Structure 1
Amino acid sequence: MSDTLDARRNAVRPDLADAALRGRVDAQRFVAGEPRVVAAPTVALRRRPAPDAPVDTELLYGERVNVFDRDGDWCWVQSTADSYVGYVEHTALAPEAPLEAKQSLHKVSVPLALVFPEPSIKVSPVMRLPMGAVFPAGDMERHGSENFHKAAAGYVLTQHCTLANRAARDWVAVAETFVGTPYLWGGKSWLGIDCSGLVQLALQMAGRIAPRDSDMQAAELGEMLPHDPLPDLERGDLVFWRGHVGIMLDECRLLHANGYHHRTAIEPLSETIARLNALGLLPTRYRRIP
């Protein structure tokens, strides 16, 4: 390689690389990715093409990817949302359908939205979509006392989705809706989420671009705050440890998905610092989101 590129965000292997990287890296072949969309509510993005390989993150329904290679049941892909690279099962991907007349892109704006086979909340849902899932939908339809948007998979209540380009006003409030969610390494939904996935998803719902992993976030998000002594923190500030990140709800309380509580929890920052300090882990960085 002529450049040292992060393989998490650059599609490069010794045998194959993204054509956009030609001249920057060495590879046997260069190909342009084929666009696809995620057709499952969530799909694990794995480090290797195997069902027991480590999960680095999850892709959400409607997320666009570029497919650079397929080997049997697995595709080597790169997300267009955050550039993350990994392997997904090919059955979770589908060609992207063009928007039809009177359709517009919507996204799920609540932690979990039900998709019904008909416009009624009294029938069994056919799918459950996570916050951030994107889908083409028609105009609002009123049925009885409920309002729905018709999507390809079924009907979604209007109060559970919004236009895809509409940003939440308070990204920290979005993160708060995940309190109690089980901790899941690599997770990015209400069914399981990790610390950096929570930060990324909440910021994305507010229309902000955020990298996936905590080391990327510590280097790239917002503005650096003084480290020593402990700065005066405020709502929305980020506190980083090696391999971990939390969100300040105010000057004292931290919100974070973590393996101690095994869920997304709120606790005094002082307690988190003391507990991790006992393990030899001190805060490494404080950053403020403007």
Structure 2
Amino acid sequence: MNHDRRLTPATERVALDSLRGKLDRPEYTAGEPARMAVPLADLMSAPDGHRDRQVIFGADLTVIERRDGWAFVQAALDGYCGWLPEETLSPELPPITHRVTAPATHLYPAADMKQPEICMLSIGARLAVEGTEGRFARLVTGGYVPLQHIDDRPVRDPVELAETLLGTPYLWGGNSRSGLDCSALVQIALTACGIPCPGDSDLQRDAFPEAEQIRRGDLLFWPGHVALAVSADLMIHATAWKMAVIRENIPDAIARIDAASDGPFLGIRRPGG
């Protein structure tokens, strides 16, 4: 059986119990729940390896193996697996109540915007709010975030949310306001609307049904690339061509990508059917 490394919760030593009888390993484990406790961390192919994706604040994870200060984990969001520094994880799992819906916000030590910020939190960060003080939400894990930047309800329009990220720098494997790639933009937009979405463009293409005519909210695919349709003739995507999130005319993009020999256009997929 061929197992996709990105989605297989196993190292060469240890696998999740769910893989017993499917994957031979010396040890199996039920896994250990944990949560991302820092604003952002690279999810790597190996300890000190290359970045596959990133994990942001509040993400739930299952720890499968710990080794020399590293943890091999599987992300609850999309099943993606990889290595993170152990120090980025917390065993504390207070109930998540809100999500950051602004492109980014700041975590403050007090309910006061004039206080020096603790850190930046990116769009999609998951928060456990225990109360409010003025125009700030107080987190169970400590710190305060502006109420204007968070919500406890899904976003309605993935395109509208994606457009708030226009100008964000392109970053291979990036998943945050600080930098993101094509599949991250799509994943951020869809998951904000409560639509489950894989982390890489090939997985995204496999996840959703085909469509014949482009409409708002559709996904457009090329080899190794995905864009989100704003309308029948306009799209938004994170592209290395401009090293940023941009809008682009769809026919122009198809012609440009074909001319660069990065095609062909692979078609349309429709999240939510």
Asked if these proteins are the same fold (TM beyond 0.5), I'd say yes
**CA shift for structure 1 position 194:** 0.4
Hey, what does 2:218 align to over in structure 1? 237
Kindly name which structure, 1 or 2, has the bigger radius of gyration based on alpha carbons. Answer: 1
CA change 1:260–1:177 in 2 (3 A) is same
Separation (CA, whole Å) in 2 of partners of 1:192 and 1:108: 16
Q: Which residue does the alignment assign to 1:173?
A: 160
Matching residue within 183, 190, 199 for 2:170: 183
The AA in structure 1 aligned to 2:207 is E
1:122 paired with 2:114, answer yes
Does 2:65 match 1:46? no
Alpha-carbon distance in 2 for matches of 1:96, 1:119:
23
Query: 1:139-154 maps to which residues of 2 (within 5 A)?
Result: 139-142=131-134, 147-151=135-139, 152-154=141-143
Q: Which of 225, 238, 263 matches 2:211?
A: 225
Query: What residue identity is the alignment partner of 1:150?
Result: R
Judge which range, 6-15 or 240-249, deviates more: 6-15
Look up the SS of the partner of 1:68 in the other structure: strand
Deviation of 1:185 after TM superposition, in Å, equals 0.6
Say yes or no: does 1:208 pair with 2:195: yes
| Structure 1 residue 242, shift from structure 2 partner | 0.5
**Separation in 2 of the partners of 1:153 and 1:98?**
12
Which of 97, 111, 130 matches 2:103? 111
Structure 1: stretches of 5+ with no match in the other structure: 227-231
Identify which of 110, 120, 135 aligns with 2:127.
Answer: 135
Return the alpha-carbon distance in structure 2 between the equivalents of residues 98 and 260 of structure 1.
Answer: 41
Name 1:288's counterpart in structure 2: 270
Percentage of matched positions with identical amino acids: 34
Report if aligned partners of 2:69, 2:85 keep a CA contact under 8 Å in 1: yes
- 3-state SS of paired residue (2:236): strand
Check conservation: 2:221, 2:266, Cα contact below 8 A. Answer: yes
CA contact (8 A) 1:41 1:60 kept: yes
SS in 1 for 2:110: coil
Tell me the C-alpha RMSD between the 2 structures.
1.3
TM superposition shift of 1:141: 2.1
CA shift digits 1:115-143 (9 cap, x unpaired):
1111111121111111111121122222x
User: For 1:139, what is the secondary structure of its paired residue?
Assistant: strand
- Provide the secondary structure at the position in 2 that maps to 1:8: helix
Match in the other structure for 2:70? 74
- 2:3 alignment partner in structure 1: 5
Aligned residues between the structures: 270
Residue 7 of structure 1 and its aligned partner are, at CA, apart by 1.9
Q: Distance in 2 between matches of 1:283 and 1:276?
A: 8
Task: Give the C-alpha shift of residue 27 in structure 1.
Answer: 1.3
**1:27 matched residue in structure 2:** 25
Contact map agreement 1:75 1:88 (CA 8 A) in 2: yes
For residue 77 of structure 1, give the secondary structure of its aligned residue in structure 2.
strand
Change (3 A) 1:233 1:117: same
Matching of residue 253 in structure 1 with residue 234 in structure 2: yes
Deviations 1:165-214 (A, max 9, x none): x2101111111111000000111111000000110111110011001110
**TM-score normalised over the length of structure 1:** 0.90
Which residue in the other structure is 2:145 paired with? 156
1:47-100: CA deviation from partner (whole Å, max 9, x where unpaired): 1101xx22111111011111111111211111111110000011111112445x
Displacement of 1:105 in angstroms is: 1.8
- Is the partner of 2:128 in helix, strand or coil? strand
